[in-house]
Amino acid sequence: MKLNPKQLKAVRWSARLTALALLALGLPFYFGYGNPLPFINPDYSLAENVGLILLPLVFIGLALGWKYEKVGGCLVVLPLTIGLVLALSTGEGFPMNLLIALIPGALYLVAGYQSKKNRMPLGE
């Protein structure tokens, strides 16, 4: 499916605005958690420690996606997928509210792969 320039612009700005909202709401919660370093506090569960490892990658991906959509999308989607698989395999709960970050991550990937500057001409 190929997007026309107007649709691509809408996808790109939807991703950027949702990423900005998630950064504005998520970063204060992350730093307000106390000590955001993983495995420092013995009271944290494995799922909380994994979240403390993966969330900085998600935040970096949300910010980086403004300029580099493919890289930003991968930095959002891959850590969340790893965290979800790890949570399901260990039997611990995965905070489902983190999955909202998949929306801008997926939109970044769509915009990155639909952009003309990222396409290779046929025959190369």
- Kindly report, residue by residue over 27-58, the tens digit of the pLDDT: 888 888 666 778 888 888 777 788 788 889 99
Amino acid occupying residue 120: M
Domain chopping of the chain, boundaries: 5-116
Question: Which residues lie below 8 Å from residue 37, measured CB to CB, with a gap of 6+?
Answer: 52
pLDDT tens sequence across 81-110: 888 888 788 777 767 777 899 999 999 999
Count Cβ atoms within 10 A of the Cβ of residue 62 and give its class: 0-12 exposed, 13-18 middle, 19 or more buried.
Answer: buried
Token duo for residue 16: 């950027």
Residue written as tokens 């307000």? 32
- The pTM (predicted TM-score) of the whole model is 0.82
